[in-house]
Amino acid sequence: MTTKFYLTTPIYYVNDRPHIGHAYTTILADVLARFHRQAGDEVFFLTGLDEHGQKVLQASQARGLTPQQHCDDLAPRFSQLWEKLGISNDDFIRTTQDRHKKVVQAVLRKVYEKGDIYQSEYEGWYSVAEERFITETEKESGEFRDVKMLKERNWFFRMSQYQQKLIDHINAHPQFIQPEHRKNEILGFLRQPLTDLCISRPKSRMGWGIELPFDTEYVTYVWFDALLNYLTGVGYLTEDDKFKKWWPASLHLLGKDILTTHSVYWTTMLFSLDLPLPETIFAHGWWMLGESKMSKSVGNVVNPLDLVDQFGVDPVRYYLMREMIPGQDAHFTMESFVKRFNSDLANDFGNLLNRVSGLIPKYFNAIVPEPGALTPEDQHIQTIAENLQNKVPGLIKELKVSEAIEEILQLIRAVNKYMEQQAPWKLAKENLPAAGRVLYVASEALRISALHLSPVMPAKTDTVLNVLGAKGSSPQWGGLKPGTKLGEHGALFPRIEK
Ligand code: ME8
């Protein structure tokens, strides 16, 4: 039976070009999507852009463009970057698309008719930077910038009435908010009374958004609009079969900065719509540069394209996946990038390929030799390779991508060590079949590690599998066929010299 797996990234604001933080979430989602497809699951992977609201409006004004011109100009920078990074998303949603505006307006009508939306005058602290009213406690925390007192007539969503239902849901579904410590933060937040959510902005103050269907003087608050992309993307209210097939989402992947909007605003919106909640919301940590979060407003961002142009796509994907433990923060440094590249990719993985593809042509006419009966040393390598099949899927399910990679690298390191001990280059002179056996075992382990690494480095592992004539083979031991002619290749990961 195939399992369906619907996963999403946040839809990013089009207020500037994408940086490595956006690339990280999107690559992580892509790696998960590829792992699931490899395991035989049916996957729908959605990403896209958040194009309404004040931040986008301000960014367009700063460039002297209309907001729509600004969005149309910047959107390709995201989609083209995703293409360059090998992102295998199934759809790319933009909130200014008609299909989305229709869903937002239909949802507003439904929620309004249900009696979950009401109008009221509200006076309170408003954070211009965050685009929302904040509580007194939040103001005192000092974490919000551009705070001012604002009095306005607005439309509100009765979020507060769903507070207990949400708490009960979180407690009854341990997988719902991940990692555990983030779930506890949300439960802590929910110990305070939940207020209702202001879901409108008067056009007189901020007109860039989707008009409320029941009051044309207002546009929809950007978060109420944006979160609904997860429904639009799978055909809510328009393509019933598609929607039935994919909803609820299996995984919403996001950074910890937007966990509250997802676990509180979004879930109560879904309650109001009588729709099931996503299975898991996973909040990863931040990429930091020095002591600060990498962000456009701080201005300390690393441009993923610069790295990719210099070192290639797969090493960047590898570094981001290996270096961050999802759930914790990670520090970006060029030193750690170069170190990972040289040690894991050039010395371990690339070196194993070079050995195999250097020795088999030299002693066996580039034909994969017959292994014959395996020795205990060979079987040790076989066991590590076979164990990966049990370990990797479990780790991926828990989003422990970094640990999964480390497991695969341990196989590669074990094979390199085995090669040094067995020294097939010496064996070839005394006992050619024994050299053949060792080279078979090493090539087979290389094939299996390349298959396991392929969701992380699709292009480079493709090269390895092509060399071994093993594209599309299964990760079971014995998939490499003796008699296969090896292909040729260039340097897989040329060492980065200082
Ligand atoms: O919040 N480290 O969009 P956004 C890791 N439009 N991840 C980072 C990061 C960093 N330093 N900086 C950004 C929005 N991210 C809304 C979302 S969803 C319905 C609406 C990633 O452009 C991370 O995934 O500010 C974070 O949650 C997201 O970008 C925020 O992107």
Structure tokens, 60:
């367009």
Closest residue by Cα to atom 23, ligand 1, is 255
pTM of the model: 0.96
Rounded-to-integer distance, Cα 348 and Cα 420, Å: 13
Q: How would you classify residue 483: left for phi > 0, otherwise alpha for psi between -120 and 50, otherwise beta?
A: left
Q: 13-32: per-residue pLDDT in tens?
A: 998 888 999 999 999 999 99
**CA 232 to each of CA 90, 91, 236, 270: distance values in angstroms, whole numbers, following the listed order:** 13, 11, 5, 13
Q: Which residue has the higher pLDDT, 437 or 144?
A: 437
88 inside domain: no
Q: What is the pLDDT of residue 62?
A: 95
Q: Ligand 1 centre from 21 Cα, in Å?
A: 7
Q: What is the pLDDT of residue 236?
A: 98
Q: 249-302: per-residue pLDDT in tens?
A: 999 999 999 999 999 999 999 999 999 999 999 999 999 987 788 887 777 778
Ligand 1 binding pocket, CB closer than 6 Å: 10-13, 21-22, 24-25, 50, 226-227, 229, 254-255, 257-258, 286-287, 293-295
Mean pLDDT (whole number) for 210-234: 98
Question: What torsion do the CA atoms of 390, 396, 397, 403 make, to the nearest 10 degrees?
Answer: 90
Residue 428 confidence (pLDDT) above 80: yes
Backbone angles phi, psi at 359, to 5 degrees: -80, -35
Residue 359's CATH number:
1.10.730.10
Place of tokens 């070192």: 311
229 inside domain: no
Structure tokens, 480:
């490499």
Secondary structure (3-state) at 233 = coil
- pLDDT above 70 covers a percentage of the chain that reads 100
420 inside domain: yes
Q: 86-111: per-residue pLDDT in tens?
A: 999 999 999 999 999 999 999 999 99
Residue 458 confidence (pLDDT) above 70: yes
If we measure between CA atoms, which residue out of 246, 317, 231 comes closest to residue 25? 317
240 inside domain: no
Domain that holds residue 449: 333-467
Q: What is the pLDDT of residue 16?
A: 82
Rounded-to-integer distance, Cα 178 and Cα 281, Å: 6
Q: Ligand 1 centre from 328 Cα, in Å?
A: 15
247 inside domain: no
Place of tokens 């619907």: 6
423 inside domain: yes
Residue 406 confidence (pLDDT) above 70: yes
Residue 223 confidence (pLDDT) above 70: yes
Q: Ligand 1 centre from 317 Cα, in Å?
A: 18
Nearest atom in ligand 1 to the alpha carbon of residue 301 is: 11
Asked whether the beta carbons of 246 and 234 are under 8 A apart, the reply is: yes
Q: Ligand 1 centre from 162 Cα, in Å?
A: 26
The separation between CA 374 and the C-alpha centre of its own chain, rounded to angstroms, equals: 41
Q: 276-291: per-residue pLDDT in tens?
A: 999 999 999 999 987 7
412 inside domain: yes
Mean pLDDT (whole number) for 394-407: 96
Number of domains in the chain: 1
Residue 1 binned pLDDT confidence (cut-offs 50, 70, 90): low
277 inside domain: no
Q: What is the pLDDT of residue 186?
A: 98
Q: What is the pLDDT of residue 302?
A: 81
